[in-house]
Amino acid sequence: MKLSPAKSIRGSVAVPGDKSISHRSVMLGSIARGTTEIHGFLEGADCLSTISCFRHMGVDIENKNGVVTVHGKGLHGLSAPSAPLDCGNSGTTTRLISGILAAQGFSAVLTGDASIQKRPMGRIITPLSMMGADIKSIHGNGCAPLQITGKPLSGICYDSPVASAQVKSAILLAGLYAEGETRVTEPQISRNHTELMLKFFGADIRTEGSTATVRQTPELYGNRITVPGDISSAVYFAAAGMILPNSEVLIKNVGINPTRAGLLTVCKAMGADLTLINEDHSGSEPTADLLVRSSSLQGTVIQGSVIPAMIDELPTVALMACFAQGRTVIKDAAELKVKESNRIALVAENLKAMGADVTETDDGMIIDGGRPLHGASISAHKDHRLAMTFAIAALAAEGSTELQDADCVSISYPDFYTDLKRLVRS
């Protein structure tokens, strides 16, 4: 795809439903008793992989007119799949389903695309095995494909070495089936959608600080879920609104869960002109409209507990830093190396190709802002977040940019380019 510079970005947009919440609503709906109705479900490839996996385990899931209806089978009602479960590009699908499969009365294989087969699964294999699970990396490399044979499980107290919602969620989902109590403590609090939704479905779960505890649960009950807009998809339009002159964009109905809203904290520290309007805290997931205008950004240090609350937004924040006065330091973000790609290396490489002053570090990067960007040939390496980040970079660069693997945005935001084209003023 060839992209040209833009003069500004103006208008309003409603971004797709939150990817994390969409995944979890299908999973919990499938193992709940009764019907779960999901509004605002993300029709991206990753979430559709989750639907496919549960359909192959006997769950009736309808997807009509923007509403997904899951006819739950109960905690012990899933059926053995007749073939390996294909998780596509979705780490969330792979890791969270592992926790559910660990306690089922059958054996299953989880696999996925080339990217999934490189992502670390030892981080769930270890704690699930401690609970009594029979889970193995088929190739012995700690990655998918995984062979999981359901076994009776026992609760554990687990100190996770990483702040990862996927790891925490896999353990908590297994904990629904495990005798006694299962407790997970993280170094910092990761996104808590699983804890909120488990409570919503009737699980005996509580949280205290960075520790989540679940007790063996006899039954979950279907519910009605409205999925808010994904802040990880909103960040692209927010960044464009900040770095392009004479811009104003309203991003509607965005989830602002505190465990996901690190972006808002960092934007404030950078001096962004970003205002929350129409805040709604009535549901389990708070929402707001984000009003973003052209901003005079300042460099800042991004580290510590804010990192897990914005891990998917960091590539775009690195782009914003290129347009900030002074130095921005991103640290404590080594988790970026094991996403769909090594996002630290590739963000630094591609920003440098466009003329930015970026230094890659072991756990982040150092960006000295103020150098104008120019067009370049950019490879997204089939990583949807990189494709969207550098589509925005192209709008603010001099000359044209060629974006390879541009179509991989279908993983989380199939209509991204359509929405972007509607807002761009050339």
Q: Give how far the C-alpha of residue 113 lies from the chain's centroid of Cα atoms, to the nearest Å.
A: 18
Distances (CA, A) of 426 to 8, 13, 237, 246, 377: 7, 18, 16, 12, 21
Is residue 354 within 8 A of residue 325, CB to CB? The reply is no
Is residue 19 within 8 A of residue 232, CB to CB? The reply is yes
Is residue 358 within 8 A of residue 351, CB to CB? The reply is yes
- Beta-sheet strands, E only, within 131-241: 134-137, 146-149, 157-159, 181-185, 205-208, 211-215, 224-226
Phi, psi for 90 (deg, rounded to 5) = -95, 110
DSSP string for residues in 259-311: TTTHHHHHHHHTT-EEEEEEEE-SSSS-EEEEEEE----B--EE-GGGTTTSG
For β-strands 224-226 and 248-255, DSSP reports them as unpaired
For β-strands 2-3 and 8-14, DSSP reports them as unpaired
Distances (CA, A) of 415 to 63, 249, 412: 18, 17, 9
Sort 139 into a burial class: Cβ within 10 Å, 0-12 / 13-18 / 19+. exposed
The dihedral through the CA atoms of 230, 232, 237, 242 has a sign that is positive
Which two structure tokens, joined as six digits, stand for 126?
């270890």
Give SS3 for 100. helix
Give yes or no: 18 in active site.
Answer: no
Q: Which amino acid is at 88?
A: G
Q: Which of 18, 46, 230, 312 is catalytic?
A: 312
Closest C-alpha among 123, 174, 175 to residue 144: 123
Eight-state DSSP code of residue 323: T
- The catalytic site residues sit at 312
